[in-house]
Amino acid sequence: MGSTSRPPGRPAHADHGTDRPRTVANVTTTVGMAGLGIMGSGMARNLQRAGFDVVVWNRTRSRAEALAADEMAVADDLPDLAWRSDAVLVCVSDTPDVEQVVLGEEGLVHGLGEDSLVIDCSTISPAATRRAAAALADRGVAFVDAPVSGGSEGAANGTLSVMVGGTAEAVAAADPYLRAIGSSVTHVGPVGAGQTCKLVNQVLVVVTMLGVSEALLLAEAGGLDPLTAIRAVENGAGGSWMLSNRGPQVVARDWRPGFTVDLQQKDLRLVLEAADELGLPVVATSLVSQLYRTLQHDGLGGEGNHALVKALERLSGFTVGGRR
């Protein structure tokens, strides 16, 4: 699969998928990947390692072409990606991006045939997810929402946690692709339930990182070596993934993102919207969102979400791994 040209006679934006026989009931070999950011590029490589032929697309074409060296095909556009693929995974930033990629005037919908499968690994609004699924169902296209957690490390290593929403049939069809990118794949309910579960995950991520930040500052101010403190507690009741993986980054002043502040803040917006709709208090999550906002105002939105500690450092006068 090295060609980047559309099969002869296939116009760029026609609904040209319907004459290609496909079924989501069987495991097939060609998968499309739309979105090649921090997460999507690692996911594409793991799909290829699992034995699938991979066709890629990205809004910035150079990111897609970088994967051509790995013998992945580069689609001309989204309808072309859909036409070539038995299933398409989508991993883009926000709700409007998914709506444009899947249903837009130049979206996947114009290349999807009946019995095609779309797997959305983005983190977006559960309500928008249900609307997209309904629109595709009218065309005979199955849709699964499968947001992921595990950061850039999980995407690179194929060890993501995947929270899946959809019908039992569609989830079964998506399972081989999801097993290629994740070590934990859980069907949590109907379409939209995956996104709701991802919002649960994000509450745990940011509130835990707030606790990690406060704990590391206490260690620093109390005269402890922060790395030694991490080693002392990480296997006890206070241990967590964020402490073990992001705590040492904080101490090293390493702000490379597994997940950026900007993207984390986008997810928190979705959490706060959902909580507002349900009438739920999310006090700690709201506080973290305000702290992240101060970092964004200072131009730090591209740093890793563990940079949350910087907001507390400014309040305390102490710097983890540094000097007062």
* Tens digit of each residue's pLDDT (9 = 90 or more) over 205-236: 999 999 999 999 999 999 999 999 999 999 99
Q: Let me know how long the chain is.
A: 324
Q: 322 falls in which pLDDT band (50, 70, 90)? A: confident
Q: How confident is the model at residue 5 (pLDDT cuts 50, 70, 90)?
A: very low
Q: Is the pLDDT of residue 21 over 70?
A: no
11 — pLDDT class (breaks 50, 70, 90): very low
Query: What does the pLDDT read at residue 69?
Result: 86
d(CA 53, CA 180): 12
Instruction: Tell which residue, 165, 163, 168, 111, has the closest CA to residue 141.
Output: 111
Read off the pLDDT of each residue in 130-154 and give the average, rounded to a whole number. 96
Calculate ∠ Cα 146-116-46, nearest 5°.
Answer: 50
**What's the pLDDT at 10?**
36
Confidence at residue 101, expressed as pLDDT on a 0 to 100 scale = 98
Q: How confident is the model at residue 29 (pLDDT cuts 50, 70, 90)?
A: confident
Mean per-residue pLDDT over the chain, rounded = 91
DSSP-assigned beta bridge partners for residue 75: none
| Percent of the chain whose pLDDT exceeds 70 | 91
- What was the pLDDT predicted at 16? 39
Residues 237-284 pLDDT 10s = 999 999 999 999 999 999 999 999 999 999 999 999 999 999 999 999
Using alpha carbons, select from 171, 139, 177 the residue that is nearest to residue 17: 139
Calpha distance 35→20 (Å, rounded): 24
pLDDT in tens, 44-79: 999 999 999 999 999 999 999 999 888 999 999 999
Average pLDDT for 186-195: 98
For 34-51, the DSSP string reads: E--STTHHHHHHHHHHTT
Q: What is the dihedral of CA 259, 189, 166, 91, to 10 degrees?
A: 0
Separation between Cα atoms, residue 205 and residue 203, nearest integer Å: 5
At position 129, the amino acid (one-letter code) is T
DSSP state string for 55-115: EEE-SSHHHHHHTGGGT-EE-SSHHHHHHH-SEEEE--SSHHHHHHHHHSTTSGGGTPPTT
Q: What count of other Cβ atoms lies within 10 Å of the Cβ of residue 189?
A: 14
Residues forming a β-bridge with 161? 149, 184
Quick one: average pLDDT of 131-136?
A: 97
Domains with residue ranges and CATH for the chain: 30-191 (3.40.50.720), 196-316 (1.10.1040.10)
76 CB-near residues (< 8 Å, 6+ apart): 4, 5, 6, 12
Identify the band that residue 1 occupies on the pLDDT scale cut at 50, 70 and 90.
very low
Categorize the per-residue pLDDT at 133 as very low, low, confident or very high, splitting at 50, 70 and 90: very high
Q: Helices 193-221 and 126-137: crossing angle, nearest 10°?
A: 150
- For residue 115, the model assigns a pLDDT of 87
Contacts of 46 (CB under 8 A, 6+ apart): 155, 158, 180, 181
Average pLDDT of span 11-33: 50
Q: State residue 169's pLDDT score.
A: 97
User: What separation in angstroms does the CA of 136 have from each of 59, 112, 118, 132?
Assistant: 22, 9, 9, 6
Element (H, E) at 160: strand 160-165
Residues classed as catalytic: 198
Contact indicator for 32, 177 with CB cutoff of 8 Å: no
pLDDT for 12: 38
Chain centroid to CA 19: how far?
32
